[in-house]
Amino acid sequence: MAGVNHTMLPEFLLLGFSDLKALQGPLFWVVLLVYLVTLLSNSLIILLTQVSPALHSPMYFFLRQLSVVELFYTTDIVPRTLANLASPHPQAISFQGCAAQMYIFIVLGISECCLLTAMAYDRYVAICQPLHYSTLLSPQVCMAMVGTSWLTGIITATTHASLIFSLPFPSHPIIPHFLCDILPVLRLASAGKHRSEISVMTATVVFIMVPFSLIVTSYIRILGAILAMASTQSRCKVFSTCSSHLLVVCLFFGTASITYIRPQAGSSVTTDRILSLFYTVITPMLNPIIYTLRNKDVMRALRHLVKRQSPSP
């Protein structure tokens, strides 16, 4: 059945924003600008954490891995989104192309989820168990955590993409979205939806709520350690090392929860697309900006790099 279905279904149509023609032009330039800033800022984070000795700690190692994920994540989504915005008509995407985009999207999304959890653990060890920091977060341990993040994403993506794209689809499927996201594609399937929906919701609980719970647990312990400090100045200084990560966590898990956990009955196509635009385009741009502007070490490394590259008078 699946083989026949693939033969009869050469492509999907991505609606994109073709039903909102007045917004397509402005959105194209906004998305393009955001994408360029995302590429520049994440590349800068990768460069700084690689060349600056002051940023060769586990925290910045995880930050570099997060920026790598963000670069691939946006590049998987944005170029096709720009092509859709530049056209007044829905754009075709092949069955294989849609499956590939969803697969990469899930791999990177789950990997980012796990990396944010690893970064919370880094902050917990640094603040609550500083004497064991070098042991608990040795280079080998950090590499293993990053590898586990990618492996978890690959396993999840393989399971979901295989399940969803083995379902039969209508002969002329139109995805009311600008990317091959899980829920919009799943809603097109004409059979087997119940099994797939159970799988999707199970993964949502596991890969959104469980990592988020681990992050919350880490910060509860961090908060306890901060409150136990006698000096107000020390409390502020320690908390400032966590503020950037907290903001990024709120952005990522907040939009993910609204998108995948909220009841679908009351949602609209336009709302879904706006939310997806935020977490696939806007958030990857904000993350490096948050870490750069709110982190003295990164700003110091940036000034040092600019000064070193500037020609001497």
Contacts with 255 (C-beta within 8 Å, 6 or more apart), sequence order: 275, 278, 279, 283
DSSP lists the bridge partners of residue 11 as 94
Looking at residue 4, its pLDDT comes to 39
Cβ–Cβ under 8 Å, residues 34 and 284: no
Question: Using one digit for the tens of pLDDT, what is the confidence trace for 236-269?
Answer: 878 877 888 888 898 888 888 777 776 555 567 7
pTM to 2 decimal places: 0.88
Task: Give the CA radius of gyration of the chain.
Answer: 21
Q: In terms of pLDDT, which residue wins out, 251 or 8?
A: 251
Report the C-alpha gap between 179 and 280 in whole angstroms: 10
Region for 41 from its dihedrals, namely left if φ exceeds 0, alpha if ψ lies in -120 to 50, beta otherwise: alpha
Task: Annotate 186-201 with b (16+ C-beta within 10 A) or e (fewer).
Answer: bebbeeeeeebbebbe
Contact (Cβ atoms closer than 8 angstroms) between residue 245 and residue 197: no
Identify the structural domains of the chain with CATH numbers, from first to last. 12-291 (1.20.1070.10)
What is the DSSP annotation of 212-231? HHHHHHHHHHHHHHHHT-S-
Whole-number pLDDT of residue 32: 95
From CA 276, how far away is CA 179, in angstroms rounded?
Answer: 9
Query: What CA–CA distance (Å, rounded) separates 264 from 272?
Result: 10
Mean pLDDT of 213-219: 92
Predicted confidence (pLDDT) per residue in 20-71, tens digit: 778 888 999 999 999 999 999 999 999 989 988 888 899 999 999 999 999 9
Task: Return the amino acid letter for 65.
Answer: Q
Mean pLDDT confidence for 137-143: 95
Contact 114, 106 (CB under 8 A): no
pLDDT attached to residue 8: 56
User: How high is the pLDDT of residue 10?
Assistant: 52
Cβ atoms within 10 Å, residue 105? 21
Closest Cα to residue 183, out of 154, 206, 204?
A: 204
Q: What is the pLDDT of residue 275?
A: 84
Q: What is the mean pLDDT of residues 104-125?
A: 93
Helix (H) or strand (E) holding 35: helix 21-51
* Alpha carbon distance 195, 197 (integer Å): 6
What percent of the chain is modeled with pLDDT above 70?
88
Token pair recorded at residue 99: 């499956």
Tokens matching residue 7: 């033969």
- What's the pLDDT at 5? 44
Asked if 97 and 10 count as a contact pair (C-beta separation under 8 A), the reply is no
Tell me the DSSP string of 64-129: HHHHHHHHHHHHHHHHHHHHHHH-SSPEEEEHHHHHHHHHHHHHHHHHHHHHHHHHHHHHHHHHH-
